[in-house]
Amino acid sequence: MLSFQGFERCLICSAIGDRFVPAALDDTQREEVGCLAGTRTRVLSMFLNWAKDDPMRLFWLAGLAGTGKTSIAVTLCRMLQEDPDVIFGGAFFCSRTANIAELTDARCILPTLSMNLAERSTVFAAALSTQLAVDSRAALKPISVQMVQLLQQPLNSLASSVRPIILLIDALDECSDENEVKKLLRAISTLACDAQVKFIVTSRPETHINTNLSLNSSHNTILQLHTIDKAEVTEDIRLYIDRTFSEQPLGESWYTACDVDSLASHADGLFIFASTVISYVLDTESVEDRIARLQTAEYAMKDSKVANGPLDTVYDLVLTRASDTAKVEPKELRATQQVLACILTARMPLSIVALAEMLGRKADVLRASLRRLRSVVHIPEDVNQAELRTVHTSFGDYLFERARDELRISAALGHEMLAKACLGVMGKQLHFNVSQMRSSHENNAILRPDTVTLSLEYSCLHWIYHLDALPQPWIMEKDINDMFCSKFLFWLEVMSVLGRIQRASAMLSFAATTVRYLRDTNWYLTRFSGPVNRAFPHFA
């Protein structure tokens, strides 16, 4: 929760609105994500020295997938927050695996950072609220304007501060719109030239990021993780594997130092490789099975024919075991592939129960089908907890692009299944007075009613995005017609309960270019003098 109070808080919260993404903040990152104590010490020291003494205004940490950028970023956040020589203004952790659309939207980064900095500095909060009183729509404007109104002008109030202000953006490459990322980097470079603020950015060395940061190299410090002494990184990985294995109930009796050295040497600098192998080996209670899995992993590394390195090899190993035809029926394997496709293309976190409802399956069966993939898929213990996701972005990249033909999954499969699932859920769960209000003249309840399940929320909010991703969206015309002909107003009611009635209007306008029935619906709506919430005021 934000600590600043009263009118300032109300004004800032109201103006920033949906562009504030709480899930992106540093204090929401899981404890286990950070660096293991005693590892990455040189890299962390470089960052701390830069933050306090280096005149450069932007530090770009570049590294391939799985090299530990996010772990370094999380650890840095904790260290900077405790350092009295700097003002840590906050962080934005971009993510594709979290299945939250706003975490891949570069337009949300500056509003979130400015609001988080306001929490940590009462002086900045007062200046930001003054700025937003003049222009309450600053957060919705282009990134270049956001930078001026949400950061640059309020930061003038801190100009006399002798401590540098540090802001961090992790995994910038995971933002979906490259053009918006370029605009953000240009805006950061402009701000960093004039203000007492420093940015830390981590990402893969993508061309659009590298090009923009190289243009302002006179203000930037660049560290490529692959340039760090390989022996140093391998030793950190060896320490990580050894410490994790030694913490198991049998201590060090079930593995040897040679096993650890072998895995660390095959990791090729990828911490995510070590993490995935550890999960794969430990995903069994039997000591004999752990030893067998450890030997299998070592053999797979030595005999690898996978062209894209050790991480793909271990992903191939996990999927091959999970799809063993001697243990898994072909029908069950196809069902698991469909579930994976849905997890990878979902736009917000789902629970096991919600996804099962959408796919018309039993929650316990769906969970059991994923159990063999626990080393690469995060499966929440609580079936109602909305945290079903892959462990690392690279697993989705592998499945969509580089997996063997029999293992590869198409993103189109996930979009098609979720588009049909959304319409199916709305058809079943939408009904008269779905919000359970006593009167249409009352304001919406503060808490979402139980009748609006997570599966229904997802379906009402996101069906249009999956429809748009289909190569031939018009094939869904009959399904859309069947649902909206009878339940259009019930859908609007749910959108109103969720506080997204303006989005409903935009969704219909967009869909009307594709589906004939919605073209007719859109024409009907435009007959009213205003958007949907004025046409149907009791849903506002």
Q: Count of domains in the chain?
A: 4
The residue range of the domain holding 72 is: 6-227
At residue 176, what is the residue type?
S
Q: In three state form, how does the secondary structure of 104-149 look?
A: HCHHHHHHHHHHHHHHHCHHHHHHHHHHHHHCCCHHHCCHHHHHHH
The token pair that represents 438 in the structure block = 């006593």
Can you state the percent helix, strand and coil of the chain, rounding each to 5? 60, 5, 30
Give CA–CA dist 10/136, Å, rounded. Answer: 12
The token pair that represents 318 in the structure block = 């996990």
Give me the phi and psi of 422, to 5 degrees please: -60, -50
Write down the mean pLDDT value for the chain.
Answer: 86
- The conformation of residue 283, written as its DSSP 8-state character, comes to S
Q: Please say whether the beta carbons of 389 and 377 come within 8 A.
A: yes
pLDDT for position 530 = 41
Same-domain check for residues 177 and 197: yes
The token pair that represents 446 in the structure block = 């503060």
Cα separations in angstroms, 121 against 52, 112, 353, 495:
19, 14, 41, 35
Same-domain check for residues 122 and 269: no
Cα separations in angstroms, 435 against 95, 414, 453, 490:
32, 29, 11, 9
pLDDT for position 417 = 96
Give CA–CA dist 239/232, Å, rounded. Answer: 11
Q: Strand runs (DSSP E) across 119-277, as ranges?
A: 165-170, 197-203, 220-224
Whether residue 440 lies inside any domain: the answer is yes
Give CA–CA dist 345/462, Å, rounded. Answer: 11
Q: Please say whether the beta carbons of 491 and 426 come within 8 A.
A: yes
Same-domain check for residues 223 and 234: no
Same-domain check for residues 152 and 29: yes
3-state secondary structure of 350: strand
Q: Which of 177, 209, 227 is the last residue in one of the domains?
A: 227
Whether residue 66 lies inside any domain: the answer is yes
Give CA–CA dist 65/43, Å, rounded. Answer: 17
* CA atoms 202, 203, 209, 213: torsion sign: positive
pLDDT for position 193 = 62
Q: Which of 226, 294, 242, 230 shows the shortest CA–CA distance to 36?
A: 242
- The conformation of residue 375, written as its DSSP 8-state character, comes to T
Whether residue 423 lies inside any domain: the answer is yes
Same-domain check for residues 388 and 475: no
- The residue ranges of the chain whose pLDDT is under 50 are 1-3, 523-540
pLDDT for position 78 = 94
Whether residue 312 lies inside any domain: the answer is no
Same-domain check for residues 94 and 208: yes
Q: Which of 347, 323, 367 shows the shortest CA–CA distance to 469?
A: 347
Give CA–CA dist 180/106, Å, rounded. Answer: 6
Whether residue 468 lies inside any domain: the answer is yes
Same-domain check for residues 239 and 223: no
Q: Which of 370, 390, 409 is the last residue in one of the domains?
A: 409
Same-domain check for residues 119 and 142: yes
Residues forming a β-bridge with 263: none
Same-domain check for residues 193 and 239: no
Give CA–CA dist 106/212, Å, rounded. Answer: 15
Whether residue 321 lies inside any domain: the answer is no
The token pair that represents 517 in the structure block = 């029935």
Whether residue 64 lies inside any domain: the answer is yes
Same-domain check for residues 198 and 240: no
The token pair that represents 72 in the structure block = 């370094």
Same-domain check for residues 452 and 405: no
Give me the phi and psi of 169, to 5 degrees please: -125, 120
The model's pTM: 0.84
Whether residue 320 lies inside any domain: the answer is no
Instruction: Supply the DSSP string of 1-13, one letter for each residue.
Output: -----HHHHHHHH
Give CA–CA dist 289/98, Å, rounded. Answer: 31
Only one residue has tokens 């959108």, namely 495
Residues forming a β-bridge with 350: 388
pLDDT for position 4 = 54
195: domain CATH number?
3.40.50.300
Q: Which of 199, 227, 255 is the last residue in one of the domains?
A: 227
Same-domain check for residues 135 and 187: yes
Give CA–CA dist 363/371, Å, rounded. Answer: 12
